[in-house]
Amino acid sequence: MAFRALPQELIRAKRDGQALSSEEIGELVGGISDGSLSDAQVGALAMAIYLNGMNAAETVALTEAVRDSGEVLTWRGLGPGLDLPGPVLDKHSTGGVGDLVSLVLGPWIAACGGYVPMVSGRGLGHTGGTLDKLEAIPGYDIAPTRERLRKLVREAGVAIVGQTAELAPADRRLYAIRDVTATVESLPLIVSSILGKKLACGLDALVMDVKSGSGAFMPTHEASFELASTIAEVASRAGTPTTALLTDMSQPLAPCAGNAVEVREAIALLTCEKTGDKRGGRLLEVTRTLAAELLLAGRLASDHEGALALLDERLASGAAAERFARMVAGLGGPADLLERHDRHLPRAAVVRPVYAERSGRVTRMDTRALGLAVVTLGGGRRAPSDAIDPSVGLSDIAAIGEAIDGERPLAWVHAGSEADAERASGQLRAAIEVNDVALGDVVLPTLIQDVIRREAP
């Protein structure tokens, strides 16, 4: 593209701590998209932003430029029978262990009258990826054509898919270069990467689930809060009302981790297979809270109590499960997944309990280490080209405060071999701390730590 100023001069300005205008940022992002900026220039720009940051106006401009670097989906003004009659809603999580919220929330919102075109990603480091979970379902197509995506969102109300080449192409190139230039951990670059893809989906409202704790992407509570606040502020200033929740990741969100085991957990929650104390627990609470915020933002409920009542009715009636089934079948998966998931979802060759070396209560755990144990089993990637074994993982993971003894294991390990199971068992025992204390002496983590709401101007 034609630059009004030499790109190296814009990079120099950012290197020297100067603020760039929205027009200058737009030119740079355009050069990232069309290749007129070299890899060296993109890397230098990323490092300049990493070292000097961006002010609020610059971050908004960067996000909007990434969003507009490719196709921005529209859902209205398409003609009779093509427009969506309800709000377009979505959520995003910064990732964690046992975080299968998307699998439940998307169909649940669709059952309440919303439309959810959810663009998701793969696992990163110790965290699981929504696309990896869905690919445990035989035949599920994470990369449908645009026409198929539109049709499914219109008919089922939800489609969880991967990023297409047309959506936010600048982000794809910029992230790849950040990954090899030690510039991933930059707040403006993180925010523009997350929101550029999400806002390109033409949303009416967004909820963000930002994790804090030993399994979180951000290292401290303060960093997580800053990320949540910045995302809510930038997205709203870019025209999309956004609510950000700060939630706990000092232990897995669901009592399991791994791809097929998490799909089974999602189906159990959607079909209400679990009752009483076992009905969803932390996973249900976070998903229900995020879903209620979306219903309020999309004006599908008039108050918080009404939102929760609608959600509970649509879950109990089976409407949310039915939307999940329609999405799976619409993207090539088995039509009878809900009824016969044991037939369709892969199972590990070795499934066995892992017991602690002493009785007591779980007082703390290294959630990141639990996620890495799943990676070691083959349930995640050490390199982008690695194949994943969808059958492996952990299930029935004990919670902080839970009593552990010779009958209650720390977890069950699902492995491809006895040797893998033995290795993972050692990792679990090292990651989960058990002490001889009373329940009252255990510090139980607060699950939902903060809620930040921002309206569009």
Catalytic residues: 90-93, 130, 178, 193, 197-198
69: its two tokens:
């670097």
Beta partners for 433? Answer: 364
Residues 136/346, Cβ–Cβ less than 8 Å: yes
Residue from 281, 247, 263 nearest 399 by CA: 281
How far apart are alpha carbons 32 and 225 in whole angstroms?
A: 30
The whole-angstrom separation of Cα 128 and Cα 350 is 21
CA dist., res. 240 & res. 247, Å (int): 22
325-329: Cβ within 8 A, 24+ apart = 326/155, 326/156, 327/106, 327/107, 327/110, 327/152, 327/156, 327/158, 327/159, 327/160, 328/137, 328/140
**Ramachandran class of 454: left when φ > 0, alpha when ψ lies in -120 to 50, beta otherwise:** beta
Give the number of C-alpha atoms closer than 13 A to the C-alpha of residue 371, restricted to the C-beta side: 27
Measured distance CA(329)–CA(312) in Å, rounded = 24
DSSP line for 165-190:
TTS-HHHHHHHHHHHTTT----HHHH
What is the distance, to the nearest Å, from the Cα of residue 93 to the centroid of all Cα atoms in its chain? 4
Assign residue 317 a region (left: φ > 0; alpha: ψ between -120 and 50; beta: otherwise): alpha
Tokens of 354: 């892992």
206, burial (CB in 10 Å: exposed 0-12, middle 13-18, buried 19+)? buried
